[in-house]
Structure 1
Amino acid sequence: MTTSTRGARTPAVLVLEDGRIFRGRAYGAVGETFGEAVFSTGMTGYQETLTDPSYHRQVVVMTAPHIGNTGVNDEDPESKRIWVAGYVVRDPARLPSNWRSVRGLDEELAAQGVVGISGIDTRALTRHLRERGAMRVGIFSGAAIGDDAAMLARVQAAPQMKGANLSAEVATTETYVVPAIGEKKFTVAAVDLGIKGMTPHRMAQRGIEVHVLPATASVEDIYAVNPDGVFFSNGPGDPATADHPVSLMRGVLERRTPLFGICFGNQILGRALGFGTFKLKYGHRGINQPVQDRASGKVEVTAHNHGFAVDAPLDRDSETPFGRAQVSHVCLNDGVVEGLRCLDVPAFSVQYHPEAAAGPHDAAYLFDRFVSLMEDQRAQAH
């Protein structure tokens, strides 16, 4: 049960699974919520963060202290709802100030039943998560607040992110089509594992008609749309549980159809090629992460949202069931794999979000690379 806190100063408590407690005020809805505590380093773009399906079952801590300045509009959401399990901010804006704003962020959180907390030291919380790692958390406000031991016990009983199979919970249940903008040049089947609205739009801008398919789609469903290329989207959860998407991708690789994956799709390609995946200590989340394209040496400022990564060698090409593959991109902060490229089949992926325009256009070339793969395939067919 949740209620609105707009205009109220209802007490709230944040409880981490290791027993650390922060006390503040309710922000958004009053009640209780549980999830994995993660932090996002973006200073702006909170609306896109909140509506990114990849944040399903995660409680997001914003490292920027002042959140809500620009309010909420109806043009920027990446999906039809807020997906975060909870929201943590230090200093919420008292009044939004932006010509596009139609309501306040606290009002939107309350309307969608998202329990949050404000007025806590988010810098101390972020440092704690960096040192101890992402962990389970609960936010309790109003009547949901109990004694500390009881709240901690409930947090420790909540499910962990490791081993969670979540993509089907956020994906579409029915296929839908995003038409090409201008002249139609190609058809792409996009497997929705938690797709953001901007992704098919970026493809549509390049003359691609995008058929967005459910995560449960079969290989036959993919090829029923007669695709020139296949796309695997971002999404939440542990890639080690994603056996069906991995099987689906192997079916595409066997047919040598041009393939592009981002975020969760990158991890799926890693598994399809035979690499393992692992959970990062606290993950990469935000719109200011430096990634190097190893072929050109160029450094891109990129948008991230991932708590898992592909375990692939950086120092050599790898032999896989689908020929040679290499790590194409790497994070300059910690050396984590941020992209894969197949050398003998037309397939590649990146771990970050090229549709998010963090750089703002550093990663736009990846959609053009996908178009080039489809153009080459079409030329070979003729």
Structure 2
Amino acid sequence: MRKRQLVLEDGTVFIGESFGSEKVTTGEVVFNTGMTGYQEVISDPSYCGQIVMMTYPQVGNYGINRDDFETISPFIHGFIVKEVCDYPSNFRSEEGLDSYLKANDIPGITGIDTRKLTKVIRQSGTMKAMITTMDDFYEVAVERLQNMPMQRDQVQQTSTVKPYVVPGRGMRIVLVDFGMKHGILRELTKRNCHITVVPYNYGTENILRLKPDGIMLTNGPGDPKDVPEAIEMIRNLLGEIPIFGICLGHQLLALACGGDTEKMKFGHRGSNHPVKDVKTLKTYMTSQNHSYAIREHSLENTDLEVTQFALNDHTIEGIRHAIHSAFSVQYHPESSPGPEDTSHLFDDFIQMIKHDQVKKEDAYA
């Protein structure tokens, strides 16, 4: 392996070894606390534009398989591990991590002190970083990073370009793709839904022409305020069709209802985040990946009610509209990877649609 360096915009430098692609890359460096699930992490579109570090010390030990991808083409800009496993051992393994990253032109760096890097991010917050060769002077890299603007087009990069259908005989769901994980599709197809996947900017009128029973707002990367057309679309659909939002879709629902969002210091990324339900007082372990959160005080003069909150930092994890059929969660109920404690929310969505249909039938009677 060749020597590489990881340079942060604050001037911090880590020296390690290269694996995966040899190209120079830049992005926002973040950390994920999951002990497993690196394949799903790498292929999660919500990491678009980011360099992802795994805090678990050895990564790649069970290889890469055909079943655990969350998108066809990954969008991450780089991958950081303490130790990469060169010889994976698992009955499902079909390829090594190094080979997969090379095939997808994703640079990696191994052999650095990931505990120290985690502490730097926790203390200073996420920041821009570069994985580069030892030939580059780090002073030049730092200057380039400090002058580099943050990416604002992640949703445009990850959303589908044209609508497509995943046929089923059940509820007709329009899935607005902001950077969807395939796990969401899997959960809806398990329930025999007829799914029409549409781009993030498909528009209210076009969605209504599809005559959906319900609307799913998916996860996705970046700042929710960077997609104002989606906020306007959700605002127009509230009260017309039941809505279920996940992750970025959760933040967009809050903005559409008059709430506000803010960037977190280092976000939530991992498969071990405890969330408490306000009504049932139950605690769920959840899978999360987000940099932004809803401002709690911004909901005071809205019709939104807080349904769940994070036990670690008390950020808002669930909301529900007090008048219309709409709810959302900040975490990933489809897991992929992570615990399946909250997969019942997809059933709750179906039940909400049925209840809404009954109310409309009674109103017309």
Q: What TM-score results when the alignment is normalised by the length of structure 2?
A: 0.96
Output aligned runs, 1:18-33, within 5 Å. 18-33=10-25
Match for 1:262: what amino acid?
I
Q: Give the share of equivalent positions with the same residue, in percent.
A: 39
Aligned to 1:30, the other structure's residue is in SS state coil
Residue among 175, 182, 195 paired with 1:197: 182
- CA offsets per residue over residues 59-82 of structure 1, 9 Å max, x none? 001000100011111111000112
- Distance in 2 between the 1:226 and 1:340 partners? 25
- Distance in 2 between the 1:91 and 1:242 partners? 38
- Following TM superposition, by how much is the alpha carbon of 1:45 offset from its aligned partner in structure 2, in angstroms? 0.4
Answer yes or no: is 1:244 the counterpart of 2:229: yes
- Following TM superposition, by how much is the alpha carbon of 1:206 offset from its aligned partner in structure 2, in angstroms? 1.2
Distance 1:81 1:25, change over 3 A: same
**Is the 2:271–2:339 contact (alpha carbons within 8 Å) kept by the matching residues of 1?**
no
Aligned to 2:238, the other structure's residue is in SS state helix
- Distance in 2 between the 1:30 and 1:357 partners? 29
- CA offsets per residue over residues 14-53 of structure 1, 9 Å max, x none? 0000000000000211121001010000010001000111
- Distance in 2 between the 1:329 and 1:57 partners? 29
Gaps of 5+ in 1: 1-8
Residue among 169, 175, 198 paired with 2:163: 175
Aligned to 2:334, the other structure's residue is in SS state helix
Match for 2:288: what amino acid?
H
Gaps of 5+ in 2: none
- Distance in 1 between the 2:102 and 2:338 partners? 32
- Following TM superposition, by how much is the alpha carbon of 1:239 offset from its aligned partner in structure 2, in angstroms? 1.2
Distance 1:22 1:232, change over 3 A: same
Answer yes or no: is 1:54 the counterpart of 2:54: no
Aligned residue number for residue 6 of structure 1: none
Output aligned runs, 1:265-304, within 5 Å. 265-304=249-288
**Is the 2:251–2:330 contact (alpha carbons within 8 Å) kept by the matching residues of 1?**
yes
- Distance in 1 between the 2:205 and 2:281 partners? 39
- Distance in 1 between the 2:107 and 2:305 partners? 42
Distance 1:88 1:278, change over 3 A: same
- Following TM superposition, by how much is the alpha carbon of 1:361 offset from its aligned partner in structure 2, in angstroms? 2.4
Residue among 303, 311, 315 paired with 1:332: 311
Distance 1:357 1:139, change over 3 A: closer
Q: What TM-score results when the alignment is normalised by the length of structure 1?
A: 0.92
Match for 1:304: what amino acid?
Q
**Is the 2:254–2:260 contact (alpha carbons within 8 Å) kept by the matching residues of 1?**
yes
- Distance in 1 between the 2:218 and 2:336 partners? 16
- Distance in 1 between the 2:100 and 2:147 partners? 29
Aligned to 2:186, the other structure's residue is in SS state helix
- Distance in 1 between the 2:185 and 2:166 partners? 7
Residue among 350, 368, 371 paired with 2:347: 368
Aligned to 1:22, the other structure's residue is in SS state strand
- Distance in 2 between the 1:224 and 1:79 partners? 28
Aligned residue number for residue 150 of structure 1: 140
Aligned residue number for residue 79 of structure 2: 87
Aligned to 2:72, the other structure's residue is in SS state coil
Match for 2:48: what amino acid?
H
Aligned to 2:10, the other structure's residue is in SS state coil
Aligned to 2:140, the other structure's residue is in SS state helix
- Distance in 1 between the 2:101 and 2:294 partners? 34
- Distance in 2 between the 1:201 and 1:306 partners? 21
Residue among 203, 208, 211 paired with 2:193: 208
Match for 1:197: what amino acid?
H
Match for 1:153: what amino acid?
E
- Distance in 1 between the 2:339 and 2:272 partners? 10
Aligned to 2:237, the other structure's residue is in SS state helix
- Distance in 2 between the 1:165 and 1:268 partners? 16
- Following TM superposition, by how much is the alpha carbon of 1:357 offset from its aligned partner in structure 2, in angstroms? 5.7
- CA offsets per residue over residues 221-258 of structure 1, 9 Å max, x none? 21222100011111011112221110010111042x11
RMSD: 1.4
Answer yes or no: is 1:71 the counterpart of 2:63: yes
